[in-house]
Structure 1
Amino acid sequence: MTTPFRKMHGLGNDFVVLDGRQTPVPLTTESVVAIGDRRRGVGFDQLIVIEPADDGADAFMQIRNPDGSEAGACGNATRCVASLLMEELRKPSVTVRTISGDLVATARDGGLVEVDMGEARLGWRDVPLAREADTLRLPLTLGPVSDPAACSMGNPHATFFVPSLDALDIPAVGPALEHDAWFPERANIGFTEVLAPDHLRLVVWERGAGLTLACGSGACATLVNAHRRGLCNRTATVSLPGGDLLIQWREDGHVLMTGPVATAFLGTLEL
């Protein structure tokens, strides 16, 4: 079976996007891993399948990591899928359904897309953690990093605040932290340098993907955790290796993420 695909990215966080609304796309863990191979396949940070949705949403978005596991949320991919749906449906706003809930996306000036990522979930069961703890300060230390804050943005995140990202060897600590016993479902690990009350710098070791150029849900989690610590405003620019996202944590608990989308190329896959 062959199927067309679109290679898209948000700030270099790249995706293979398949449309399964008319014809289901038969994917196995092995086929996801093969497609994600950057030497023998196409390569991606996440593989996205757009599927039909029940009433109340314009489409369902299935998210798979390069190791074949399923992710609950991906902010950059949501912007990419929303941009396709808005163009196709000729609508200024669409609702994208995920296994973690519905996300409303809106077109903004300059080709940007804003996504309401929903409420930040701050309880220890929400993250989830392995046992009861204060999610504002976890008793977790590994090498030079310690004392993270945790929250869920539809998937688990832990944020470590560091004085200098340039001095940190993230590949040396990221894998162990992702799999730490505190996180029964593993976690996305953010390393954050506070540049100003309205400017954060972030690098993310993503669950199931490793280092990426950008992580939308990670940027949302970082803003939330930094504000909870009194380190930044409720609105800030989050600078990632691939570029900047504007993140706002509203008073009602919802987190808004605004950033660009791009299509790199089109192709056809043999499944």
Structure 2
Amino acid sequence: MRAYAMNGAGNAFIVIDRREASGPAAYAADQIEAMRAVHPFDQLIVLDPSDDADADLRVWNNDGGEVGACGNGTRAAAWLLFEDGAKPQLRFTSTGGLMQARRLDGGAAEVDLGPARLDWREIPLSLPMETVRLDFGVNLPDGGRLEGPGAVSMGNPHVVFAVEDVLALALSEIGPCVEHDPLFPERVNAGFAQVRDRDDVRLKVFERGAGLTLACGTGACAALVALHRQGLVDREAVIEADGGKLPVRWDDQGHVHLSGPVVLERELDLSGV
């Protein structure tokens, strides 16, 4: 087993390669906390052995909860395997569905996160509702209100609000109200997107179980899909997060593709965890 500190557009990970292990990993909350003491991270990415793919990819948020998908984490894991000599096309199984990765010219990894899920049951929501614009809103500290977000599942649940100025919002106060609303039985990742052009979006995401992060890959994918369904952007755009720019495209088959920067920071010693 080898472990690495990595980031994708500032989205921080510990990536653990367990492909040679005899079975899947299991991590308790106290182990997650011990890993955070070794290296702070947003998500823990674990590559387990798989009979049906190159690896089974599992994701834990830094609060100890396991989740179904992490776009930037999948890119980081794919890049790591490409650098280790893997073939230029990879397949990952996950609880969020099958994901595929390919190596781009220049060495970057692009991940196909599969189809965007758009039915209210797939998000999931606690009530039947049209997901292009939810009948849902959140009050702002200054007395205003945000309403009508789009809802998308990318293997994990997202809502995306189109806003005029994302940098003016008190997201540390707004985010938890959205994340924990009863409409979202599994909680939700809350995205706030400022459309600057049809192929240019400024995004911030309050991630369930992690809070505000420098970037969120599945959040960037959900933002493109949600904004396109509302007629605000094209099917391909650059989504700019605090940590960098993430190119996203929604193809004609409904699959969402994510690319962007990856940094390998250092190898970690987790033997005492």
> 1:138 is aligned with what amino acid?
L
Corresponding residue for 1:31?
Answer: 31
Structure 1 residue matching 2:204: 3-state secondary structure: strand
Corresponding residue for 1:20?
Answer: 18
> 1:111 is aligned with what amino acid?
G
Long gaps (5+) in structure 2: 140-144
> 1:76 is aligned with what amino acid?
N
**Does the CA-based 8 Å contact 2:58-2:69 persist in structure 1?**
no
Structure 1 residue 212 displacement after superposition: 0.5
Corresponding residue for 1:208?
Answer: 209
Matches within 5 A, 1:66-81: 66-81=62-77
Corresponding residue for 1:255?
Answer: 256
Q: Distance in 2 between matches of 1:12 and 1:234?
A: 24
Q: Distance in 2 between matches of 1:51 and 1:102?
A: 14
> 1:7 is aligned with what amino acid?
A
Corresponding residue for 2:112?
Answer: 116
Give the root-mean-square deviation of aligned CA atoms.
Answer: 1.3
Percent identity of paired positions between Structure 1 and Structure 2: 45
TM-score (norm 2): 0.93
Matches within 5 A, 1:1-271: 4-23=2-21, 25=25, 27-36=27-36, 40-55=37-52, 57-143=53-139, 144-269=145-270, 270-271=272-273
> 2:224 is aligned with what amino acid?
L
Q: Distance in 1 between matches of 2:186 and 2:158?
A: 11
Structure 1 residue 4 displacement after superposition: 4.2
> 1:10 is aligned with what amino acid?
G
Structure 1 residue matching 2:98: 3-state secondary structure: strand
TM-score (norm 1): 0.94
Long gaps (5+) in structure 1: none
Q: Distance in 2 between matches of 1:222 and 1:107?
A: 24
> 1:96 is aligned with what amino acid?
F
Q: Which moved more, 1:109-118 or 1:210-219?
A: 109-118
**Does the CA-based 8 Å contact 1:8-1:263 persist in structure 2?**
yes
**Does the CA-based 8 Å contact 1:111-1:260 persist in structure 2?**
no
Q: Distance in 1 between matches of 2:19 and 2:235?
A: 38
Structure 2 residue matching 1:111: 3-state secondary structure: coil
> 1:169 is aligned with what amino acid?
A
Q: Distance in 2 between matches of 1:26 and 1:121?
A: 28
